[in-house]
Chain A
């Protein structure tokens, strides 16, 4: 098989994986460390994408659009934390799932009211709309390279923050024994609010960066939430490192499934059957990966609790 094609597909898979990581990282921090199941994380992703698309069209600057999108989403998240999430910390997961599912419904309708039901066009910045010659025979879309770079950068920063900073230490302390940490003078409430907002800003960044690659539309948060949940389950709940590895795995499996499974099936089955089965198998590949991982490591690859 053509090595350039394989390399390009791996790059595509890594790009998708890094985007999933940005969403899954916030989700796993909030779920793993604060023990709050926040389904409305996808809605924050959607808000980020909408704000970025709008600001980009209005201002003409992609950088400004990303910054405003992150700032606006953080404001929304802070409001959400103060009015709702704070009341859910001590409750069981069912209450959290129900309450944050309610937030999804409200968020979708609110976005529909502000931006209308039709998808919004998120333009690609003009200077990133062409290809870059990575090496002879492989021009690659420059925007995808920027997205890849942003994903790697955020992963590095997040690793430093959680494992090698004072805030990270407080976070880990608050999560493992909140009562003791509070006795030692940690303002756990404030730390939790900070974590929630950090997760939201990652979701907003993912939304802003993914906007030009996908349709910015109502419900986009729900469709990305499912792969993101798969990622944190595979990676081990609460582990940022696990989320990173799992996101890359899911990204690669998804892309390889879509790229090579249909070819494989077509070589062995009649074309009409292969055309039906190929895309179907590719869609199932991610869940097959999850089942395979969980049957060997039921707590995920890098469980934080282990």
Chain B
């Protein structure tokens, strides 16, 4: 009996101790929420691999500077390679939503991939901050509160290039872009601002890298200048082959900042000297956030300058951080989270920008030229502002207030 009661006493003591322990252990668990989950779609293989590497480096630097947290809350970043393929991306994002239950999403480079994954994310009420793609489809009538074109609206970029071509007084131009949503947005955007005659519009296969056919047609069309929008390896090959075919003597190349950015310059080099391009960001933009970002990036990655893609990715992480901070880490309250995101109160490396009613930016566009810096490195230099506080052509069609 004594033995029994002894056991019983010990059991009771043990149980009490266990209970206390469990209570102590569960206290911090109760105070803390489950970590915030951010789904990041990378494109480190496939047609956008070179840009994907820049994006990855931009995200990595942002995440590192925040100590792996957003708004001071622990975060799990779920990163997967989508290889620039809409089908593959769709499957992986389904998994992000269903299995990982992500709270925020960012990533795909291409507009066709963005359009493929968007419906899944909107249905699951996951805010999607685009670090690059800005398709016109999501800017107008089909705009969605869960979509933020944090980088730009596709047409904006090309409108800035068209404005430059008009300012320069080019009369006859040929336009080249890949046959996918952003390519069409590109050519439409350019034409909206360009004043001269468009001799020919060429649509190439997405991912095409041999331009012999198009270059022969260019030679025959004899335009004054060519505007090309060919992201990544496509643009690199186009410039190389354009120079190789001897066309650079008679025809001026005009391009958006994408095809004249640091990643392209490092691949093509000297033949790009003197080329004009337009962009919403440059590594020499004079604002404190940008100076800190460029310095940190160069320190982290062996002295190379960041590209637009890296800058945009970095901005997305900073934007998420500020919004999570604003809602005190309560990302489950999606209405509050979206309101905080829409305010865009984060120090962008672009300087000031705000979202229009359709969650696409109103921002400056700059003219840059490729020259040599103090170290003799071929790189971009900002000349002037082409478009100031510039919105997009679709926001009026968007029903959001």
Interfacial residues, chain A to chain B (CB-CB below 8 A): 2, 4-5, 8-9, 12, 15-16, 112, 117-119, 121, 124, 129-131, 139-144, 213-215, 217-219, 255, 258-259, 262, 271, 275-276, 278-280, 283
Contacts and interface: CB of A to CB of B under 8 A. Distances in A.
Given A119-B49, A271-B201, A275-B201, A143 B217 contact: no
B17 to A, nearest CB: 52
A275 B179 contact: yes
A102 B220 CA distance: 46
Given A12-B213, A124-B240, A119 B233 contact: yes
Interface in B223-251: 233, 236-237, 240-241, 243-246
A230 to B, nearest CB: 17
19 contacts: A2-B220, A4-B219, A8-B219, A9-B213, A16-B210, A117-B44, A119-B233, A129-B240, A129-B243, A131-B246, A141-B241, A213-B241, A217-B233, A219-B46, A255-B212, A255-B213, A258-B213, A279-B179, A279-B205
A20 to B, nearest CB: 12
B217 A118 contact: no
A4 B217 CA distance: 10
B92 interface: no
B326 interface: no
B243 A5 contact: no
B170 interface: no
Nearest to B183: A275
Nearest to A108: B45
Contacts of A2: 220
Chief secondary structure at chain B's binding surface: helix
Given A118-B53, A258-B213, A279-B205, A214 B237 contact: yes
Contacts of B243: 129
Contact of B179 (A9, A215, A276): A276
B23 interface: no
A124 B212 contact: no
Instruction: Identify which of B52, B209, B210, B216 gathers the most chain A CB atoms within 10 Å of its CB.
Output: B216
B203 A275 contact: yes
Contact of A213 (B49, B209, B217): B209
A119 B233 CA distance: 8
A258 B217 CA distance: 11
A213 B245 contact: no
Contacts of B241: 141, 213
B44 A118 contact: yes
A259 B216 contact: yes
B268 to A, nearest CB: 9
Given A124-B240, A276-B179, A117 B45 contact: yes
